[in-house]
Structure 1
């Protein structure tokens, strides 16, 4: 039976089916699919590297403290009286012996005149002047003693004449006895005169002491500076009546300050007198270099720390007592440390890493750091000496790298560290000069 002729509709359906079959069963060209293509290799990145090196890095103990006045005193009056003049004010710079406060002396001047008159009166009683030394006086030369000595001599002569007349009966026995009694009375008056002169000499000593006391009160009526310093407080005004011992002026010695700090007892055994100290004060760009001057022999029970002090020269009074300060005490000047530039270390969430370069490949590695100062950081763990790392951690990546140049940062830092060490040794000399170490 002959097949019927195909219609136009059947021809269309057959063509559509054929197209679908070809689409479903056909395979695309692998070269024409991008996802199936192999990833192109990363081009090596040019980076700058630096090697971890052992550098001179003195071992230090960091402490916090304050600059205190070398000496301070609250000065009071030795006498009660009315203030006549006040010669200083807050911030006044004074020298030892300069007058600070003077009391009214009118009454004291009268007491001086009275004491001088009493001394002159006592001296006149034995025939000397106040300028003469009464302790060297020969009592027999005193006028009262000479008078009595003359009377004794006269009585003795009368007795001698009467004794020669008694055998001739020119005088009676009673008359002779009277003359002998008069001689004994004259000798008694002579001895009394000697005692009176001795008493008068002692009285002169009393009068001299009284005069000295009054003159000392005149001196004490003026409050003077006991040392070179700066007036920290003025607590009195002219015309005010002050009592004995009342605080008038607070004075501090400021040409030399004391850096005082507490060292934790766990580190206190490392601190010795003479060790170099680098003191940094907030707001002062240049650190102060000095040395440990004093170390307390006891541990403070409240803070569990040992107090140390270092003298800080302040000849121009540029530093004020009471300033907060931070210091590094160099306990081992010859120590070394494995170091890297600060920029080579990256930190995130408490994890510290560097980009280590080996065989042309860079990879991150965790490390543990210690001290950090002047653009360098100490490597405590995780990186052997000589390892090359990317100098700038921000340029690091995992993959191939090429070396742009070997950084000389650590060499420069090492050189500056040596300069800083030399400056510290110079500053700790007896001259206590201030030196400026180079910034790292």
Structure 2
């Protein structure tokens, strides 16, 4: 056994061992080249489970398992025909409500205003005629050519024409003002209500298609075209390269060697040597292996979970669940 250990140590120093044996020897001895502590862990991923916000039948699934997608790539689409029809109906109701509001705000039609103005012109002519007739009869009365009764009749006619003219002018002013303020406010409220219905219909149509929120790899497809999908039920799983990380466990005694933002080295089977990652999380609570006994003798079973993130370029070469050995190089 001593001879085997010496031989393996010599080959490891000479970098002659295959990657698999190097990883095995690392685990066995707890050392990697010039390091003092080696921690075991694995590759973890933070998946994005993409599901529809409303239930519906899948019309098409645009991606396959293992496919790399960019941000904005269509992933799947639900059957949208009922919602498209509802949107068209809501838009037509909005156009009708807006037309009623515009009609109320502009008053009577031009033809109706023209008719009122014509009656005003006729009344003004009648008023002028009545004034002339009154002047003529008053002169005749002074010459005692007619009776007082005739003058009184002409004076009353003049007053009626003046009153009629005032009435028509008031009608014209009202017609140009449009509907009453309360009626216009009611129509404005109706327009806002229908606008909200249209916005909701647009939202429902938009929810029928799901696009990738970020670039990554499709790791799983749960449903396919023709299937009914409930609201919130995942259709595909997406793993962004920015969400791939190392997760390893450090004993209580080794915790003091690490801190947030610190770089660590790691290796895995088939990986190149001297891979690096940056510590992004250190657990605030310890994990224990049974039995949970707080004593000096069992403190060696106290471990803390550490997470470190590799670069985006390196993350694309790693696989979730892949075992890794992590260490900190001595300065």
Q: Give the TM-score category using the shorter length.
A: 0.5 to 0.7
Any gaps of 5 or more consecutive residues in structure 1? 1-56, 129-138, 334-440
Unaligned runs of 5+ in 2: 1-32, 135-151, 290-301
Q: Deviations over 1:297-319 (max 9, x none)?
A: 51224463333222123537332
User: 1:200 deviation in Å?
Assistant: 2.5
Name the residue aligned to 1:98. Answer: 73
Aligned length: 258
Give the Cα separation in 1 of the matches to 2:188 and 2:303.
64
Matches within 5 A, 1:17-416: 60-69=36-45, 71-127=46-102, 142-144=105-107, 169-170=156-157, 192-254=179-241, 257-281=244-268, 283-284=269-270, 286-296=272-282, 298-302=284-288, 304-313=302-311, 315=313, 317-330=316-329, 332-333=330-331
User: Could you tell me the TM-score, scaled by structure 1's length?
Assistant: 0.49
The CA distance in 2 between the partners of 1:122 and 1:279, in whole Å, is: 67
Could you tell me which residue of structure 2 aligns to residue 394 of structure 1? Answer: none
**Structure of higher RCO (CA pairs closer than 8 Å, 6+ residues apart):** 2
**Does the 8 A contact of 1:256 with 1:315 survive in 2?**
no
- The 8 Å contact of residues 223 and 235 in structure 2, kept in 1 or not, is answered as yes
Structure 1 residues 285 and 224 mapped into 2: Cα distance closer, same or farther (>3 Å)?
closer
What corresponds to 1:367 in structure 2?
none
Measure the CA separation in 1 of the matches of 2:282 and 2:89.
Answer: 55
Q: List per-residue Cα deviations over 1:28-86 (Å, max 9, x = no partner).
A: xxxxxxxxxxxxxxxxxxxxxxxxxxxxx8654321111112x3111111122211111
Q: 1:269 to 1:326 in 2, by over 3 A?
A: same
Task: Find the structure with the greater CA-based Rg.
Answer: 1
Structure 1 Cα separation of the partners of residues 175 and 113 of structure 2: 13
CA contact (8 A) 1:144 1:193 kept: no
Change over 3 Å in CA distance of 1:146–1:68 after alignment to 2: same
- Which whole-Å CA distance do the structure 2 matches of 1:286 and 1:101 have between them? 37
Q: CA deviation at 1:288?
A: 4.3
Distance 1:100 1:264, change over 3 A: same
- Please identify which structure carries the higher helix content: 2
Shift of 1:210: 2.0
Q: CA RMSD in A?
A: 4.1
More strand by share: 1
Q: Spell out, residue by residue over 1:376-434, the C-alpha distance to the aligned partner (whole angstroms, 9 max, x if none).
A: xxxxxxxxxxxxxxxxxxxxxxxxxxxxxxxxxxxxxxxxxxxxxxxxxxxxxxxxxxx
TM-score, normalised by the number of residues in structure 2: 0.63
